[in-house]
Amino acid sequence: MENYRQYPYASAGQPMRVASTDFFTIGPYRRRRDQARVSVVQKYEILGYIAAGTYGKVYKARGKTKELGNGLYAIKKFKTDSKDNEVTHYTGISQSAIREMSLCKELEHKNISRLIEIILERKCIYMVFEFAEHDLLQIIHYHSQPDHKQIPEQTLKSAMYQILEGLSFLHQNWVLHRDLKPANIMVTNDGVVKIGDLGLARKFSNPLQSLYSGDKVVVTIWYRAPELLLGARHYTPAIDLWAVGCILAELLSLRPLFKGEETKMDNKKQVPFQENQVIKILEILGTPTLDKWPSLNSYPEYPHLSKISTFPSNLKAWYQSNGGSNKNCLRLLASLLEYDPAKRIDALESLDHKWFQEAPKPVDNIFANSPFKYPQRKIQKDDNDILGGTSQTYYNGKRAFGAYEDPRKRR
């Protein structure tokens, strides 16, 4: 006979009879929850593996349910501490993942990658985004290899305009991206630009501590603004506009503008002076002066900068040597690459620049009127087991282990 207990909060003054085995254990709840949960591989057909980074992996997938339709999706799986794809030590959710999830759930704009859903399964986090067939880095590679093919002006202008529209939306909602680069700018088959990868993004309204104390190093070094290289403890949305200037230059020349060599950190407390990267900037923009950048000598790394030989400005010569002839385009580039962050043009102001107002004007589809047909994103079909070698799926509400064999184990 089951052991029943008197429960003091029953209705109508009568004691409630509750089976202690069901009420005082969480097992039955977990079983019901697991039976109701739909696995990621039940909702999505994994077509292949796209890319990997410090965060984890990204997979290309197709919807399998009525709600998702037959559309394509990108599934970002965050890394866990695992052995043979089984979680051995659960360390919680990374700061980067928390930021990206919280921001992407709130941000909705045509030029920001749209988050479809977040799935938690087997202590792994999966972020499902709309799929973009291209990114700007892929497009740059297509135009630079095997031979040099200039990006059409309307494609270039339309891409820049859409980047600035997305960035203006972020900044107006108090969000810094902090990692803008061609690889993080997605483009759909319809030619719509999407700013992606908000793992380093951060709200900057009324921070409880300085942005520097939370993240000492931000922005991939080739796109890192001079105030960051000089050790700024406080910075503004201007760092994102510098990165946009670097992207514009890269689309023009089909190679990075400031391709320096990064000095690695010896420890997490001391950030080294990036002398090589600074010199790459000085060689093109010239050495900054206190007249043009009054707060220059207040930066922690200013003593290191003052020891470097002075350089004249060569931006105009660089622009012309890379086939540039439009004066308004050069003016926008110079405004984005302004040394003093207080004088650097902002995203909203950039959208009204004369370059965008003259023909050919930017359009919604950056591929419109382009003679080029860009190849589809490459995927690896031999690594599409998103759950791992001991993955589990669900059959009639029951978990089945080992349903998806890891193809790497067959090699």
| Residue 368 confidence (pLDDT) above 80 | yes
For 52-55, the CB contacts below 8 A with 24+ separation are: 54/79, 55/79, 55/94, 55/96, 55/97, 55/199
Per the residue annotation, which of 22, 135, 147, 179 is the catalytic one? 179
Task: Report which of 391, 409, 388 is spatially closest to residue 401, judged by C-alpha positions.
Answer: 391
Rank 20-24, 268-272, 386-390 by mean pLDDT and report only the highest: 268-272
Residues of the chain above pLDDT 90, percent: 62
Domains within the chain, CATH numbers bracketed: 40-132+378-410 (3.30.200.20), 135-357 (1.10.510.10)
**Contact (CB, 8 A) for 138 and 318:** no
Q: Which residues contact 250 (CB under 8 A, 6 or more apart)?
A: 140, 182, 256, 257
- Which tens digit of pLDDT belongs to each residue from 103-127? 999 999 999 999 999 998 877 899 9
| Residue 396 confidence (pLDDT) above 50 | no
Average pLDDT on 364-368 reads: 96
**Tokens at residue 49, please?**
């593996």
Task: Report which of 3, 4, 6 is spatially closest to residue 16, judged by C-alpha positions.
Answer: 6
| Residue 205 confidence (pLDDT) above 70 | yes
Residue 191 has what DSSP assignment? Answer: -
- The identity of residue 241, as a single letter, is L
**Contact (CB, 8 A) for 326 and 344:** no
- Which tens digit of pLDDT belongs to each residue from 20-64? 555 556 777 767 766 667 789 989 999 998 987 767 789 999 999
Strands 44-52 and 56-63: antiparallel
| Residue 222 confidence (pLDDT) above 90 | yes
Task: Report which of 18, 23, 173 is spatially closest to residue 108, judged by C-alpha positions.
Answer: 173
pLDDT for position 81: 55
pLDDT for position 7: 47
Task: Report which of 199, 220, 239 is spatially closest to residue 346, judged by C-alpha positions.
Answer: 239
**Contact (CB, 8 A) for 46 and 386:** yes
Mean pLDDT of all residues in the chain? 84
pLDDT for position 384: 65
Average pLDDT on 292-303 reads: 96
Active-site residue, 385 included:
no
| Residue 398 confidence (pLDDT) above 60 | no
CA separation for the pair 16, 212 (Å, rounded) = 57
Other Cβ atoms within 10 Å of 235 Cβ, number? 20
pLDDT for position 15: 56
pLDDT for position 91: 59
- Binning pLDDT at 50, 70 and 90, where does residue 248 land? very high
- Binning pLDDT at 50, 70 and 90, where does residue 136 land? very high
